Structure 1
Amino acid sequence: MKFDLKQLRHFVCVVDTGNITRAAELQYITQPALTRSIKKMEERIGAKLLDRSPRRITPTEAGRVLYRYAKIIINQAERALLDVTAVSRGEQGHVHIGIAALFAPTLISHLIPQLSARFPGLQVRITEGFFEDLVAGLVEGEIDVLLSNFPPGVVPPDVELKPLFEIRTEFVVGASHPLASKENVTAKDLREAQWAIIKQPHIIDFLDKFFAEESLPPVSVAIEATSLNTLKSLVMLGQYVAMLPRRWIEKELEAGEIKTIRKDGTALVREAGLILRQTATRRPTVENVIPVIEESCREWQIDR
């Protein structure tokens, strides 16, 4: 059974768009030619890959399996081409690094100079985001290396976690918030305050468990944000309680603009570090940069 990259791209595009006509336009071929390409794949596999309905085309169970591998193959082929092209130009290849938003600003400023010094011709692409989105890119082969806090639950079976440091997320308020000057902030005080949160599963789970242990109902959220910068700005208004990573607010803590408010040390502490595809054969460029990233992260942890 053999497929070429062109056929795999045809199939992936149909699944992504859910429409043969649109996929044909994006692949610069005619609709009948695209239909024939998919049909040949189905004949070779001996299984139906797509369910066709008047509204949308969706992958069958066999199609979903093929789609997952096709994405990896296509992304790896594109990475290989970038590396070969770079080598032919006397450069040192290409690496795509995913990095969690909560420590991207400070860690990037520490990591990138080291990579540039060690590999002057290396082309680096950085994608910043939250774990759920980044790990999807890693599994699909779009991202080569992921630097992130680790999820509290089950991770995908084909990824490897390499702990390098810890991330501490604490209860915080702006300096003008009434709880900022209170000596002993109770769980009830927190429960009755106005909250702003990042709607991420690990934060919701932690808060639900924290208040449940104090026999209190879940917190009532006034504002949900999708950006840590937005959440920090809301906290500094002095109206809201939030949970923010200490690394994200170090300058504001030093300046007294933000205050931590649980003197008993209550916090969400999570391991963080490298996340890699376990089953992947890594390109030489990626293998070369991993030790440098590990070394840089350990130094960054000590500097904190």
Structure 2
Amino acid sequence: MSTPTLKQIRFFVAAVDRGSLSRAAAHLNVAQPALSQQIAQLEATLRNPLLGRTARGVHPTEAGQRFYRHARTILRQVDGAVADLTGPGPVIGRVAIGLPTSVSTILAYPLLGRILRDYPGIRPELFESLSGYLHELIARRRLELALLYRDRAEPGLTVQPILREELFLVTKAGADLPAVITMREVAALPLVMPSPTHTLRTMVEAAFDREGLALTVIADVDSLPTMRRIAASGLAAAILPISGLSGLDEDARPGMIRIVAPTITRPLALCYAADQPLSGPAALVADLMVGEVRRLVEDGAWGNAILL
């Protein structure tokens, strides 16, 4: 039985990552027919179709998803072995990073700036999405690491807590806003919240449930900019961390009221696959990520966050 070649594996991973044979070929600087031929040979060797073709591009089949997880690990190990034997030198490689939207608003720019300025050999791939989806991408080996709202390890996931941030009621700005509001008072207000599967929603609902309270949600909105705009208009309030308002101009900023009796906090942690310890460029990016988070907290740019 023949064995897949590294070229075939790299071509397959590029096709999955870019969702298109033409984009993968352009990225690898090869002709598309040559790329298609290599992937066809790989499928023949593995006796399974790995890619589904549509008018919009390609996507991995069930077998392709399983092989993709192995393929990413193989390529990472090969790159690490080469780096180990070639000795000290510039750090080179791709690192796929995941950030939740509210974290990306405050962290993405300084983190990418630091990587691009100080480590030009690293090619970062930034994914901004919901925390639950980023967890799924780690399990599928699409991401090397991500910041997720977790405070304890889960099956298949290594979790290193970094900070805990307080959540606030976000509403229309005004001079008469109180400094604090109780959870019981918040429960009576109309709210826009992420959909029920969103980590923020489940966390907030659990906090209110512990107090015997229920949220008054009038719309499910999985868009941070839209939630902020609705809250600023006064149509409904939202519950967000201070980091979720990062980057807004002063005239566009909604008001924020501290929720008390009790307060609501959520943890943020560096996460990666438990069976794939960080090394090489990924380990360096993880250190840079944690360092930038700590700097932002210590400089007061992350609101009421507390480093763990």
TM-score, normalised with respect to structure 2: 0.65
Match of 1:163 in 2: 161
CA distance 1:216–1:272, change in 2 (3 Å): closer
3-state SS in 1 of match to 2:186:
helix
Match of 2:92 in 1: 93
Alignment of 1:246-265 (within 5 A): 246-249=242-245, 257-265=254-262
Match of 1:19 in 2: none
Shift of 1:303: 1.7
Match of 2:111 in 1: 111
Match of 1:41 in 2: 46
3-state SS in 2 of match to 1:225:
coil
CA distance 1:112–1:193, change in 2 (3 Å): same
Match of 2:131 in 1: 131
Per-residue CA distance 1:14-43 (angstroms, 9 max, x = gap): 999xxxxxxxxx97379999777534323x
Shift of 1:298: 2.2
Q: Is the contact made by 1:94 and 1:285 (CA closer than 8 Å) also made in structure 2?
A: yes
Per-residue CA distance 1:153-176 (angstroms, 9 max, x = gap): 87351x322222223222322225
CA distance in 2, matches of 1:252, 1:264: 29
Shift of 1:112: 4.2
3-state SS in 2 of match to 1:103:
helix
CA distance 1:110–1:36, change in 2 (3 Å): closer
- 1:221 paired to 2:226: no
Shift of 1:102: 1.4
Of 233, 236, 239, which residue of structure 1 is paired with 2:232?
236
TM-score, normalised with respect to structure 1: 0.66
Match of 1:286 in 2: 282
Shift of 1:223: 4.3
CA distance in 2, matches of 1:115, 1:206: 32
CA distance 1:201–1:288, change in 2 (3 Å): closer
Q: Is the contact made by 2:149 and 2:199 (CA closer than 8 Å) also made in structure 1?
A: no
RMSD: 4.9
CA distance in 2, matches of 1:121, 1:35: 34
Aligned length: 280
Match of 1:205 in 2: 202
CA distance in 1, matches of 2:101, 2:266: 15
Q: Is the contact made by 2:106 and 2:246 (CA closer than 8 Å) also made in structure 1?
A: no
Q: Is the contact made by 1:165 and 1:272 (CA closer than 8 Å) also made in structure 2?
A: yes
CA distance in 2, matches of 1:129, 1:58: 20
CA distance in 2, matches of 1:246, 1:282: 30
CA distance 1:281–1:203, change in 2 (3 Å): closer
CA distance in 1, matches of 2:94, 2:45: 34
3-state SS in 2 of match to 1:262:
strand
- 1:272 paired to 2:273: no
Match of 1:66 in 2: 67
State the one-letter code of the partner of 2:135: V
- 1:3 paired to 2:4: yes
State the one-letter code of the partner of 1:66: F
CA distance in 1, matches of 2:287, 2:90: 19
3-state SS in 2 of match to 1:239:
coil
State the one-letter code of the partner of 1:149: L
Structure 1: unaligned runs, 5 residues or longer: 17-25, 43-47
User: Which structure has the larger Rg?
Assistant: 1
State the one-letter code of the partner of 2:238: A
State the one-letter code of the partner of 2:5: D
- 1:149 paired to 2:148: yes
CA distance in 2, matches of 1:70, 1:213: 44
Shift of 1:234: 1.4
CA distance in 2, matches of 1:233, 1:171: 14
- 1:28 paired to 2:29: no
CA distance 1:28–1:123, change in 2 (3 Å): same
Q: Is the contact made by 1:253 and 1:259 (CA closer than 8 Å) also made in structure 2?
A: no
Match of 2:306 in 1: none
CA distance 1:259–1:287, change in 2 (3 Å): closer
Q: Is the contact made by 1:110 and 1:300 (CA closer than 8 Å) also made in structure 2?
A: no
